[in-house]
Amino acid sequence: MDHAATTPLHPAVTEAMLPFLRERFGNPSSVYAEGREVRKAVEEARGKVARAIGAGPDEVFFTSGGTEADNLALLGVARALRGRGDHVITTAVEHHAVLEPCHYLEKEGYRVTYLPVDGTGMVDPEEVRKAITPATILVSVMHANNEVGTVQPLEEISSLCREAGVYLHSDAVQTVGALEVDVDHLGVDLLSVSAHKLYGPKGIGCLYVRRGVEIEAVLRGGGQERGMRSGTENVAGIAGFGVAMELAAAEWRERSSHVRPLRDRLVEGILGGIPHVRLNGHPSLRLPNNANFLFDYIEGEAICLRLDFLGIAASTGSACSSERGEASHVLLALGIPPEEAHGSLRLTLGRDNTMEDVDYLLENIPKVIEDLRAMSPLYPGP
């Protein structure tokens, strides 16, 4: 129940990758047959990735994943447009893969506005409008949040950006395969995708860059990916990513209708069966597979460990911040006090989860919570 952290390979993805891990080892840049044949596979996969998000193949640049795509979008656009402006707008609830490059840009002399969100994690498009100045070169707002699942009003934000002539980037790592992701419907100029969040392999993803958008490479070298991302292509990863994207585009509705009732049962069961617990994020405008709870008087980390004993994989917030021991920046941005934010538990469902999985969790979690609370000196009782 931690599909927001990563997902297993879809069997069709594994099949598509195997030839490139075995016999088809050519370098796509080589002129001889082994290279040419692998180049063809890379370009076929690019076509699949592009079609899945309503883009052209020339607008897709393979990267090592979501983190690199986010870095390329932020640093690449900021540097390309340095002569025009020095101001970037993003939100307080972005993934670290967006926030850290923003902090780095500030060190390089750019100015960054981190927009607040409301108690559900939603950005107010009006705040975006107010933040845009003549010096603004880029707005970066994630499509849906990886911790609390809130889906942002991207279409509205994109019209504002269009009017102001400012590029819009979106981290869509959590939404491809879960919601409709079409670059024209969303109105984005740049979009980050990661394969391992959508039943593809780790270490591959892409940045969509709308034709004509000015952007500079970050990784420089042999000039692969039309100079935008040097380095010999991760061919097996790319082949798997292509198939994963084709399946995501074909199946996102089905996948959503599979996980939504499971998630709703989970939420009902936990809110109805356990005292002192709240749901974080937006009640309805959220990822169909995401449930994020706040349990009073206990640490989310302790719940995760106890669930692990029961064979249930869950996390507190994002997998990336759980090692830092700090309260989640997302929950803090929602206005939750730090001492309460430590009591969060994120459950994210996937295509392999069943109603039996949900029932198993619901049968076991009340005792886990009760036991942990019994050890807390602050707990007043149910």
Ligand X SMILES: *Cc1c(COP(=O)(O)O)cnc(C)c1O
| Residue among 191 and 235 whose Cβ is closer to ligand X | 191
Report in angstroms how near the CB of residue 219 gets to ligand X at its nearest.
15
The one-character DSSP state at 32 is: S
Q: Which among 361, 350, 320 is positioned nearest to 147, based on CA atoms? A: 320
Backbone φ, ψ for residue 380 (5° rounding): -80, -5
Site string for ligand X, 341-380 (x = CB under 6 A): ----------------------------------------
| Residue among 98 and 298 whose Cβ is closer to ligand X | 98
95 is a contact residue toward ligand X (CB under 6 A): yes
Report in angstroms how near the CB of residue 170 gets to ligand X at its nearest.
10
Number of residues that bind ligand X (CB under 6 A): 15
Q: How far apart are CA 42 and CA 49, in angstroms?
A: 11
Report in angstroms how near the CB of residue 155 gets to ligand X at its nearest.
19
Per CB under 6 A, the segment of 191-199, 215-223, 237-245, 333-341 that binds ligand X is: 191-199
DSSP H helices, the chain, are 11-21, 33-52, 66-80, 96-107, 125-131, 154-164, 183-186, 235-273, 300-309, 329-333, 338-341, 355-374
317 is a contact residue toward ligand X (CB under 6 A): no
Q: Is 139 helix (H, G, I), strand (E, B) or coil?
A: strand
Q: Exposed, middle or buried, 165 (CB in 10 Å: 0-12/13-18/19+)? A: exposed
| Residue among 105 and 287 whose Cβ is closer to ligand X | 287
| Residue among 9 and 132 whose Cβ is closer to ligand X | 9
39 is a contact residue toward ligand X (CB under 6 A): no
Percent helix, strand, coil in the chain (nearest 5)? 45, 15, 40
Site string for ligand X, 117-156 (x = CB under 6 A): -------------------------x---x----------
| Residue among 12 and 319 whose Cβ is closer to ligand X | 319
240 is a contact residue toward ligand X (CB under 6 A): no
Q: How far apart are CA 250 and CA 245, in angstroms?
A: 8
| Residue among 197 and 306 whose Cβ is closer to ligand X | 197
Q: What residue type is 304 in one-letter code?
A: C
Among 2, 59, 171, 246, binds ligand X (CB under 6 A): 171
Instruction: Please give the structure tokens belonging to residue 321.
Output: 């911040």
| Residue among 5 and 262 whose Cβ is closer to ligand X | 5
Residue 320 falls in the annotated catalytic set: yes
Report in angstroms how near the CB of residue 100 gets to ligand X at its nearest.
11
Report in angstroms how near the CB of residue 142 gets to ligand X at its nearest.
6
Report in angstroms how near the CB of residue 222 gets to ligand X at its nearest.
22
316 is a contact residue toward ligand X (CB under 6 A): no
Among 197, 263, 282, 329, binds ligand X (CB under 6 A): 197
Among 154, 166, 173, 262, binds ligand X (CB under 6 A): 173
Report in angstroms how near the CB of residue 16 gets to ligand X at its nearest.
19
Report the site for ligand X in 57-76 (rule: CB under 6 A): 65-67, 70
Q: Exposed, middle or buried, 284 (CB in 10 Å: 0-12/13-18/19+)? A: exposed
| Residue among 26 and 205 whose Cβ is closer to ligand X | 205
3 is a contact residue toward ligand X (CB under 6 A): no
**Hey, which bits of 75-214 come out as E strands?**
87-91, 111-115, 136-140, 167-171, 190-194, 205-209
Cβ atoms of 368 and 343 within 8 Å: the answer is no
Q: How far apart are CA 49 and CA 25, in angstroms?
A: 22
Which residue is catalytic, options 102, 161, 304, 320?
320
Instruction: Please give the structure tokens belonging to residue 278.
Output: 């709240």
Q: How far apart are CA 269 and CA 208, in angstroms?
A: 40
Instruction: Please give the structure tokens belonging to residue 341.
Output: 């934010």
210 is a contact residue toward ligand X (CB under 6 A): no
Torsional sign, CA 381, 342, 313, 10: positive
Q: How far apart are CA 309 and CA 177, in angstroms?
A: 30
Q: Which residues are catalytic?
A: 320
Which residue ranges make up the site for ligand X (CB under 6 A)? 65-67, 70, 95, 97, 142, 146, 171, 173-174, 194, 196-197, 205
